[in-house]
A and B are shown apart, each in its own frame.
Chain A
């Protein structure tokens, strides 16, 4: 009994000392070591993933026992669709080849040529309604680096701001820590897309440095310029919602609705540089 008691004290002391040590080490902002966060995030990652998976799928569970007959009909339709798609696939093959030849002829450089595409799932996010800063299930092990661009099929999400072994933190374009060099797709004017405290709460961001007399209207598309060095050019960022001209100011700014829905974000694509 006494041994157990001493043991408990011992364990307690060890735990407390360990926690304090961890706190002390991770407090030092100059440590520059991610070991601590790795120690925590590596074992936590599957848990976070499981949590995200469960919460995501609970809703689906009740829809699981839908009419089987319906599925049968659907199956038939899908079979037909498959044959259609197979035909289209042939076309695509032909077109791809053609495209490649034409690009080569034009000496056209693919904006994504230098990148690998890596799918990633969101496993945690900062509090709040929006996916402005979140964690994904890919890390250094997957070749993720700081500043790796993050996109979805719709457009630009943001960039990796911190990498651990198996997870990475992503700062989205609506966060204040993000600045993207961008272009108005129509007028080709160069602007800067920034996160804004107030707009972030609405899932929007702002476009600064719009020169006077620029041809810009609500609905216009904004894309990455590729000039800042972080993002490849031509990734769609969003659409202009409103152009604001402050009293007396020479340049104007615009409110941008990102293409990506930062309220519902599950999977993203991380671009990693190909080894050359």
Chain B
């Protein structure tokens, strides 16, 4: 072989090599250009979309304590599981999802699927006639939709085509996979809208899901604080209320209400909000605001990095004005005395006492120290998502969910008489010493009225209040005039909200306007007589009544009764304090003193209507009984009311008690007695001789 040949051969080789390298290089460069330049923006968008997501940090709702720091409501840590769809072969996906379902089923969690409302197995059948959109969802091409008619066909189609479920799975297993996959198909869960698989899973399930997260692709868990009500919560279910997931109307209303408020972060779907009670009333204090994170996520939905975009704001802890020890006494005594009244029999007692309310107010601050409503319920029901038990509460005939202390409306009966006395004294119709003839029978405004107290002769205000003389107040009321009475009723807060943080009724005030508006009739003097003893259209809430008694007790100061003593923020700083401001009512001291004298006599003079209730107390209690007719006295007992404050010369607390069908006002006085004894620690001083007398019979006069 010649050199030339050799050279030529060498050249040949180099050319071939060069060509090969060039071909390889060109094809690589071509592909690179396609990736980088032609489809570059598309891939970039895809990669960014895939790799970043918004994360949520769920906030803690504020705790609720009583005034002494006894916990009522708090939070606990819960785990939830979510899923982000990951591209993988159907066979692998089905196996993984079945395993996932297994883990959750062992935790007694059932995955919610919209397939459940459409289809059932054993036997395979449709649960609804409306399957058109369902078929549309599962077919791969719309052409095929017309061949699917029966449930069996649909099942088989999903199994073979839509989800490609391996024939080795049983029908049950296949259906479980279908349920989850149908939900995934509809939701298309991506990083920014993950599918919540199960809420509040056990720590076992969380551990398993987490530890196996590299196999269970797309599955992740997250932390969420859940509301807890401690044992003490069952003492004040009505004041506490409950929480739940926000609905769209609430969201709209709350966002509108707080629009423009500095630092307000709008509510979002699935936020937790207060639904009633102080959970609702103090919503803006208790509410925690979600935090936001910016997440970097790999293709399995696993977070690889997270940046805090907005820190979550935990809700503020609130301290109620309620004293749980006192509350317990109020709750127990209310229940026991209602049962006692029901059993005690006697004239006019139909044994139908079944409900009631009691409110205790600090007369010098407007703080509600205790507020009980009977019947009651265990607020735990609302946290367990026990929908049957919740529905039963809502439909119960005795309305246990109603807070009768603020929502119950009752004719005040004779507890209204101090108010009429104030109106009469202030308008100059009487003086404390004016004597009025309280005869047995008299004509007032063309109508004959009788005095239940019999013929009492000429009596003054003190005697009239002590004996609850109807005839005295018929006559004085008519002389004072309904307009004057209404004027003073409004001054003392009747006919409008008291301003307490929880839902309250306004009630009704017997007035000329009211009668005209609702009955279209003119007012007669006889109406005034009836209104003067707290009947006719008068309808007040216990909170209105106790606030009025409190204003008498403290010498004419009208506070806003409140339940939140203070709120403390995350750093321990006081963020809110219940207002202790008051309105000085335009009432003369002499007027107040004259009324007080009468109320002291109620519980202390020989002929007082509640003289036995407090006779062993070391100080004097001022009170007033009230028996309000419901208009159905032929078949049911009247409502019993009792209001009081103590000590008479240095008032600290005021109490209003209402027992529906409590027969007589005085029957309910023992409830107030028990509360007083607890508040002033009388039981401790006297050892264990706890108020046996409270069960004793009490003189009954109107």
Residues of A that sit less than 8 Å from B by CB: 1, 5, 9, 30, 147, 161, 171, 176-181, 190, 192, 197-198, 209, 211-212, 225, 227-231, 246-251
In the complex, whether B77 has a CB less than 8 A from a CB of chain A is yes
User: Inside 8 A of A190's CB, which chain B residues have their CB?
Assistant: 203, 207
Contact, CB under 8 Å: B77 / A176: no
Q: Which of A176, A192, A246 contacts B210 (CB 8 A)?
A: A192
Contact with A along B269-298 (1 / 0, CB 8 A): 000000000000000000000010000000
Minimum CB distance partner of B302 in chain A: A176
Tell me the bound Cα distance from A212 to B203 in angstroms. Answer: 15
User: Inside 8 A of B210's CB, which chain A residues have their CB?
Assistant: 179, 181, 192, 228
The tally of CB-CB contacts under 8 A between chains A and B is 85
In the complex, whether B305 has a CB less than 8 A from a CB of chain A is yes
Report B1-21 residues with CB < 8 Å from chain A CB: 1, 9, 13, 16
- B213 nearest CB across to chain A (Å): 5
Report B209-238 residues with CB < 8 Å from chain A CB: 210-215, 223, 225
User: Inside 8 A of B570's CB, which chain A residues have their CB?
Assistant: 248
In the complex, whether B60 has a CB less than 8 A from a CB of chain A is yes
Given contacts A209-B79, A246-B311, contact A227 B203 (CB under 8 A): yes
Q: 16 new A-B pairs (CB below 8 Å) besides A227-B211, A249-B312?
A: A1-B1, A5-B9, A147-B215, A177-B302, A179-B211, A181-B206, A198-B305, A228-B210, A229-B211, A248-B291, A248-B570, A249-B57, A250-B60, A250-B75, A250-B225, A250-B314
Given contacts A246-B308, A250-B58, A250-B60, contact A211 B291 (CB under 8 A): no
In the complex, whether B204 has a CB less than 8 A from a CB of chain A is yes
- A209 nearest CB across to chain B (Å): 6
Contact, CB under 8 Å: A181 / B304: no
In the complex, whether B398 has a CB less than 8 A from a CB of chain A is no
Tell me the bound Cα distance from A176 to B89 in angstroms. Answer: 24
Contact, CB under 8 Å: A248 / B314: yes
In the complex, whether B313 has a CB less than 8 A from a CB of chain A is yes
Contact, CB under 8 Å: A197 / B305: yes
Given contacts A209-B77, A248-B59, contact A229 B208 (CB under 8 A): yes
Tell me the bound Cα distance from A249 to B308 in angstroms. Answer: 11
Q: Which 7 A-B pairs have the closest CB atoms?
A: A228-B211, A181-B207, A227-B207, A247-B311, A248-B312, A248-B311, A228-B207
User: Inside 8 A of A9's CB, which chain B residues have their CB?
Assistant: 16
User: Inside 8 A of B308's CB, which chain A residues have their CB?
Assistant: 246-247
**Size of interface on B: residues with Cβ below 8 Å to A:** 35
Tell me the bound Cα distance from A211 to B225 in angstroms. Answer: 10
Minimum CB distance partner of B215 in chain A: A147
Given contacts A230-B212, A246-B311, A248-B312, contact A197 B77 (CB under 8 A): no
Contact, CB under 8 Å: A228 / B214: no
Tell me the bound Cα distance from A9 to B14 in angstroms. Answer: 12
- A133 nearest CB across to chain B (Å): 12
Contact, CB under 8 Å: B223 / A209: yes
Q: List, sorted by A's number, 15 A–B pairs whose CB atoms are closer than 8 Å.
A: A1-B1, A30-B89, A161-B214, A177-B214, A177-B302, A180-B211, A209-B77, A227-B207, A227-B208, A228-B211, A228-B212, A230-B212, A231-B211, A250-B60, A250-B314
Tell me the bound Cα distance from A42 to B60 in angstroms. Answer: 55
- A240 nearest CB across to chain B (Å): 18
Tell me the bound Cα distance from A225 to B202 in angstroms. Answer: 14
Given contacts A181-B208, A248-B312, contact A212 B304 (CB under 8 A): no
User: Inside 8 A of B204's CB, which chain A residues have their CB?
Assistant: 227
Tell me the bound Cα distance from A177 to B291 in angstroms. Answer: 26
Minimum CB distance partner of B313 in chain A: A248
Minimum CB distance partner of B88 in chain A: A30
Tell me the bound Cα distance from A230 to B209 in angstroms. Answer: 11
Given contacts A30-B89, A227-B207, A250-B314, contact A179 B79 (CB under 8 A): no
Tell me the bound Cα distance from A179 to B223 in angstroms. Answer: 16
Report B295-345 residues with CB < 8 Å from chain A CB: 302, 304-305, 308, 311-314
Tell me the bound Cα distance from A192 to B302 in angstroms. Answer: 14
Residue in B204, B207, B215, B305 with the greatest tally of chain A CB atoms within 10 Å: B207
